[in-house]
Amino acid sequence: MPACRCFQAVLVLLAVAVTMLLAILLSLDGWLPTPLLGVREEGPPVTNVMFLKTHKTASSTVLNVLFRFAETHNLSVALPAGASFHLGYPWLFLARYVEGAGGAGRGARFNVMCNHLRFHLPEVQKVMPNDTFYFSIVRDPVAQLESSFAYYRAAVPAFWAAGSLEAFLEAPRTFYQPGLTLQNVHARNNMWFDLGFDPDAPADDEGYVRARLAEVARRFQLVLIAEHFDESMVLLRRLLRWQLDDVVAFRLNARSPHTVARLSPAARERARGWSALDWRLYQHFNRSFWARARAELGPGRLRADVERLRARRRELGARCLQEGEPPGPTRAPDPLLRPYQSGGAHILGYSLRRDLDPTTLRLCERLAMPELQYTARLYARQFPHKPPKDINFLDE
């Protein structure tokens, strides 16, 4: 009996020690047991997804992620009808802008929606299932406006007479006419506009702003942050229960660094004031993103998962790309991978290694494929009886 009691006492002491050790570990920087990122979270993957693709926010890279997932899993995509590459933008979205959603196909539902549109929930719900996961992405409006100026300068009347973004921001109302909202959507509060709201609404109307932010938070289960793209993809992957390779991505539609303007501190402050609604949007969802990341993952696991994601990207870059980076020229040699050029942005493309086997080549092409080519590719596969989309800039 004494030996038995002694054994029981040892077991109790071991249990106490293990409990204390776990308590210490859990107190260290939000530590959590971390499964391999390649292992899916419990439950089946989410396959009904609507991504509001805002402009100049790293959204083309997210679109590539979604297109690859849809293609891999044989999912249907709500693609622009006819020759278009966007879903009615800059007008509010209507279901008829989706190929196959109107006429004889009225009432059709799709798994994935991610091409550019101006959000209009009642019409989106006509083509997306009730259990759809909605998410979007925002970016610091200073960087977003700088990118828009370079990319859309020739297309936006408010930018035409401004010699530079600094000059525009010194007196924006000299160049910007509120009556030309649809033509000038990229010149002010572009993300706010993409969400379906008025970009010229008074930013000092606190009741209005709070109501719109609450509306976005109710509808979108997650809003990604462009400046923290890898952390965003890790959290998105967890919520969608996807695999690591489903969310790893090469950066697409990126500009050559020499075309990026460095704004003075005064100009940056003016940009935040000019696009004050976008600034409120960004601040609000930057805070909510980090609160969500802490709740879902904790700092320790978040860092570990981000590093796994980056390691996998580096591995695929070394396997797929010449020297693992976008080439210096703004046009990739392969037309399939050649990005569309707009304004003075000088968009970078990728060059693939020449020694790839057929299976690896297909993988690498999909990772490096720009938005227009991928849209045309999926359209041809999903609607083989329709005339293919014309990507005329490839013939230039």
Domains of the chain: 39-383 (3.40.50.300)
The position carrying tokens 């997650």 is: 222
pLDDT tens string 100-149: 996 544 568 999 999 999 999 999 999 999 999 999 999 999 999 999 99
Residue 79 DSSP code: P
Nearest to 191 by CA among 335, 378, 55: 55
Please identify every stretch of the chain with a pLDDT value under 50, giving residue numbers as ranges.
1, 3-4, 6-7, 10-12, 15-40, 104-105, 328-331
pLDDT value at position 181?
84
Burial zone of 102 (CB within 10 Å; 0-12 exposed, 13-18 middle, 19+ buried): middle
Would you state the structure tokens that stand for residue 211, as one six-digit string?
């109501």
Nearest to 48 by CA among 71, 79, 70, 81: 70
- Measure the CA–CA gap between 34 and 396, rounded to whole angstroms: 50
Q: Which alpha helices (DSSP H) does 153-243 contain, by range?
A: 157-160, 165-170, 172-175, 190-194, 206-219, 229-240
Nearest to 126 by CA among 95, 154, 155, 151: 95
pLDDT value at position 257?
77
Taking the alpha carbons of 257, 259, 260, 261 in that order, is the dihedral positive or negative?
A: positive
The DSSP result for 343-381, as a single string, is TT--B----B-TT--HHHHHHHHHHH--HHHHHHHHHHH
- Measure the CA–CA gap between 351 and 354, rounded to whole angstroms: 9
Q: What is the dihedral of CA 152, 154, 156, 158, to 10 degrees?
A: 120
pLDDT value at position 12?
46
- Measure the CA–CA gap between 230 and 247, rounded to whole angstroms: 9
Residue 132 DSSP code: P
Task: Say whether 119 sits in a helix, a strand or coil.
Answer: coil
pLDDT value at position 260?
84
Burial zone of 361 (CB within 10 Å; 0-12 exposed, 13-18 middle, 19+ buried): middle
pLDDT value at position 396?
52
Task: Say whether 273 sits in a helix, a strand or coil.
Answer: helix
The DSSP result for 38-61, as a single string, is TSPPSSPPP--EEEE--TTSSHHH
